[in-house]
Structure 1
């Protein structure tokens, strides 16, 4: 899979609200009403990530979920990361 350059990454990020590029990955965070809602969304994202065979680096503290996406085998951000980011956005948008 081909690594995207900074220009292409930043161009694609224009379509993803709240995402940013730094440290060779794209990052975002979400806040939910409580832990149960945050964890519920994480489960839905986990099923999608498994279906895509592309898994996020993430952390959760109470109602906040932080996500970083990078294609580790390629050594940077690829189309796989944007595909999963769009799926994550759809999951979060459908749950709020």
Structure 2
């Protein structure tokens, strides 16, 4: 799978509310109403990621969960990352 160009990533971002490109990856931080709400979102995203065999890096800080997407095997952002960002938005409710 090919790494997307900066222009391709920029073109995808308007359709990915809450996501940004940072340090060569797609990143979104979400503040949940309660700690366990964030943990539940991580569980749901994790189950989906396992089924898709494409796993985000996830950082949990109290009520804030940060998802980071990059295709490590390609050393960059690919269409798989853009698709997973869309999926995560659907799972957590944009």
- Given the two structures, how large is their TM-score scaled by the length of structure 1? 0.94
Aligned to 1:27: 27
Q: Identify unmatched segments of 5+ residues in structure 2.
A: none
Moved over 6 A (4+): none
Query: Residue 45 of structure 1: CA displacement?
Result: 0.1
CA RMSD of aligned residues (A): 1.0
Gaps of 5+ in 1: none
After the TM superposition, which residues 9-20 of structure 1 pair with which residues of structure 2 at under 5 Å, given as runs? 9-20=9-20
SS in 2 for 1:82: helix
Deviations 1:55-82 (A, max 9, x none): 1111001110011100000110001101
TM-score normalised to structure 2 length: 0.96
TM alignment of 1:1-96, pairs within 5 A = 1-93=1-93
